[in-house]
């Protein structure tokens, strides 16, 4: 089975995006209590089929999936435009990892950066005007923004330590990010123009996976101390972080429901096997959504909150699955001898 790791809140083939193909054969198991068609919306995802790592689109109505890119190199770290018409991503098609955008309707691809250094983790602003990304072009990992048409690349951070994983606030006015070396990162926030950079936390530990609440009032993040990892909430305006999970196991990859009432996350609290859980923010306890004893990762809520897409290795390699928001009707969406990962729901009505 391909080896995968979590880098912040993104599930990648490796922190550098290197593909690892699976040599296992697809299972013929039939899902129980299947999620009926149609899905809430189409899903964009990455597959390593035929030893080429690139994007596919799974249709919500007939669940047919189609390869979107004609390439022989690696494409990864997708970020969809708010209207679902384009995807920003990193590609090594011309050598070093650079930032590209592609029309999901025409397939037209445009290269936005032209550096000999590595670019990573693009994130489209919710207003659709800009894309943030990390670049090492000046010798250190720093955060940049660029207009969606490729104009006005601007460096935002100027620190002697790596800055990474920029995440836009829902109103596009602020960016949360991580600052510090591996194993000692701090959650930071700044205005979208790079001003007013400040730490949101100061309690030590290693922090990762920032995720804004839908209303922009809070940021969920993961704090690691040794072998323990828990999910915390901190006001975006600053304040004391509140621990959301209960200190049992490693709790990672927080994903807010669209209405802000719950968070899906990954935990190995039961038998040390990572699975997908949900915790309601009204004082509830974690509830397991995915099947017991199988490895499930990367929960992503559908735009209407009715379903959660995720990846699972329960059939020997990583495949896409879907379930209702309460964990019911778990269904396998892809079936092949390679790995599929990084599911991203498109908005309803996105052009095909």
User: Does some domain include residue 350?
Assistant: no
* Nearest by Cα to 250 from 272, 282, 280: 272
First to last CA, the chain: 32
> How would you list the strands of the sheet with 163-168, edge to edge?
163-168, 174-179, 186-191, 198-199
CA distances for 50 relative to 53, 63, 303, 313, angstroms:
8, 20, 31, 19
Give the pLDDT band (50/70/90) at residue 63. Answer: confident
Domain count, the chain: 1
Which whole number is the average pLDDT over 181-195? 94
What domain range includes position 60? Answer: 5-345
pLDDT digits (tens, 9 = 90+) for 26-55: 333 334 456 776 899 999 999 999 888 999
pLDDT at 13 over 80: no
What is the per-residue pLDDT for 7? 39
CB 271 within 8 A of CB 293: yes
CATH number of the domain enclosing 317: 2.120.10.30
Cα 165 to Cα 250: distance, rounded to the nearest angstrom: 20
pLDDT digits (tens, 9 = 90+) for 73-105: 889 999 999 999 999 999 998 889 999 999 999
Mean pLDDT of the chain: 88
Give the pLDDT band (50/70/90) at residue 9. Answer: very low
What is the per-residue pLDDT for 351? 82
Residue position matching structure tokens 């693009």: 122
User: Does some domain include residue 265?
Assistant: yes
């Amino acid at each position: 089975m391909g080896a995968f790791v979590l880098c912040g809140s993104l599930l990648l083939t490796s922190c550098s995006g290197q593909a690892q193909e699976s040599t296992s054969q697809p299972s013929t198991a039939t899902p129980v209590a299947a999620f009926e068609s149609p899905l809430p919306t189409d899903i964009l995802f990455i597959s390593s089929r035929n030893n080429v790592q690139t994007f596919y689109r799974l249709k919500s109505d007939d669940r047919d999936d189609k390869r979107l890119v004609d390439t022989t190199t690696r494409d990864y770290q997708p970020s969809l435009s708010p209207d679902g018409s384009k995807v920003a991503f990193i590609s090594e098609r011309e050598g070093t990892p650079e930032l590209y955008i592609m029309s999901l309707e025409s397939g037209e691809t445009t290269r936005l950066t032209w550096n000999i250094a590595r670019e990573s983790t693009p994130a489209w602003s919710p207003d659709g005007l800009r894309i943030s990304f990390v670049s090492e072009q000046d010798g250190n990992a720093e955060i940049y923004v660029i207009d969606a048409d490729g104009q006005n690349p601007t460096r935002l951070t100027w620190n002697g330590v790596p800055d990474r994983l920029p995440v836009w606030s829902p109103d596009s006015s602020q960016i949360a990010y991580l600052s510090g070396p591996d194993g000692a990162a701090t959650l930071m926030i700044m205005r979208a123009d790079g001003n007013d950079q400040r730490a949101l936390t100061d309690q030590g530990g290693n922090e990762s996976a920032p995720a804004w609440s839908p209303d922009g009032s809070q940021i969920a993040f993961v704090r690691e101390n040794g072998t323990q990892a828990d999910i915390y909430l901190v006001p975006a305006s600053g304040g004391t972080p509140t621990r959301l999970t209960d200190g049992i196991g490693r709790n990672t990859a927080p994903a807010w429901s669209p209405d802000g009432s719950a968070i899906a996350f990954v935990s190995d609290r039961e038998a040390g096997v990572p699975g997908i859980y949900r915790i309601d923010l009204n004082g509830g306890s974690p509830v397991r959504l995915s099947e017991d004893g199988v490895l499930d990762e990367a929960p992503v809520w559908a735009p209407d909150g009715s379903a959660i897409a995720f990846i699972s290795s329960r059939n020997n390699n990583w495949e896409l699955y879907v379930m209702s928001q309460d964990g019911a009707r778990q269904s396998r969406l892809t079936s092949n001898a390679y790995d599929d990962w990084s599911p991203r729901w498109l908005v309803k009505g996105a052009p095909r």
